[in-house]
Amino acid sequence: MAKSAFNELVKSSTPVLVDFSAEWCGPCKVLAPILHDLKNSVGDKAKIVKIDVDRNPEIAQKYRIQSVPTMMIFKDGEMKWRGSGVLQKPQLEQLIDQYQ
C-alpha cells in the first residue's frame, strides 16, 4: 500500500483497525481468522486493514513497528490505541466500540 493511500485511509471518521503483520509470523496467522470474524461482526462500524511490514517498510518504520502482530486503531488521522500480540474478538470489538 502506498504511504499516501495509507495516510488517506487513517483520516477516516470511521475507526480503522490496522494489523501490522508478516507472512513468516506465527501469531499473525492465529490473528487472521479472528480479524476476519471481527470484520463480519462490525460491518460498517470500522475498517480493518492488514499491512505487511516486509512489503511496506516505510509505513512500518513511520509507526516504529518492532514486533508483529501490532495493531493500531486510527480515527480522523489520529492513533487512538496501539497494542501488540493476539487479542480475542470480544476485546477488539470493545476497543472499536470505544472509538465509535
Active-site residue among 16, 17, 28, 92?
28
pLDDT by residue (tens digit) across 80-95? Answer: 999 999 999 999 999 9
* Residues 6 and 59: beta-carbon distance below 8 Å: yes
Output the DSSP codes for the chain: --HHHHHHHTT-SS-EEEEEE-TT-HHHHHHHHHHHHHHHHHGGG-EEEEEETTT-HHHHHHTT--SSSEEEEEETTEEEEEEES---HHHHHHHHHHT-
Write the pLDDT tens digit of every residue in 35-53: 999 999 999 999 999 999 9
Choose the catalytic residue: 22, 25, 32, 86: 25
54 is catalytic: no
pLDDT at 3 (0 to 100)? 84
Q: Active-site residue 97, yes or no?
A: no
pTM attached to this predicted model: 0.95
| Domains within the chain, CATH numbers bracketed | 3-98 (3.40.30.10)
| Biggest CA pair distance of the chain | 33
Segment 55-70 mean pLDDT: 97
**Between residues 3 and 54, which one has the greater pLDDT?**
54
